[in-house]
């Protein structure tokens, strides 16, 4: 999608939203609340964790993200 810093800035702006959708390059879609941003831990790839409405947490690598949508702002 974008470079690391642009991705972090966009995700941090969505941190308070309960209705974020992440669409991956493979076409999968995950919708929920941002649970965790992992960016500075040694030996780890930058990723975001999404807490779905069903309580399931899904980790998505930044490299796999195609699009980010904050549905809270569309209402």
Reported as a single tens digit per residue, the pLDDT across 15-46 is: 889 999 999 999 999 999 998 876 656 677 88
The per-residue DSSP string of the chain comes to ---HHHHHHHHHHTTT-S-EEEEETTS-EEEEEEEEEE-SSTT---EEEEEETTS-EEEEEGGGEEEEEEGGGG-
**Distance from C-alpha of 62 to C-alpha of 75, rounded to nearest angstrom:** 26
Domain CATH code at residue 23: 2.30.30.100
Domain region containing 60: 4-74
Number of compact structural domains in the chain:
1
pTM over 0.85: no
71: which residues sit within 8 A by CB, 6+ positions away? 17, 19, 20, 21, 31
Average pLDDT of the residues of the chain: 87
């Amino acid at each position: 999608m974008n470079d690391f810093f642009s991705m972090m800035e966009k995700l941090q702006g969505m941190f308070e939203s309960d209705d974020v959708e992440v669409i991956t390059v493979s076409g999968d879609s995950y919708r929920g609340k941002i649970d965790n941003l992992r960016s500075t831990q040694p030996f780890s790839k930058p990723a975001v964790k999404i807490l779905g409405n069903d309580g399931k947490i899904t980790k998505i690598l930044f490299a796999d993200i195609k699009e980010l949508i904050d549905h809270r702002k569309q209402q």
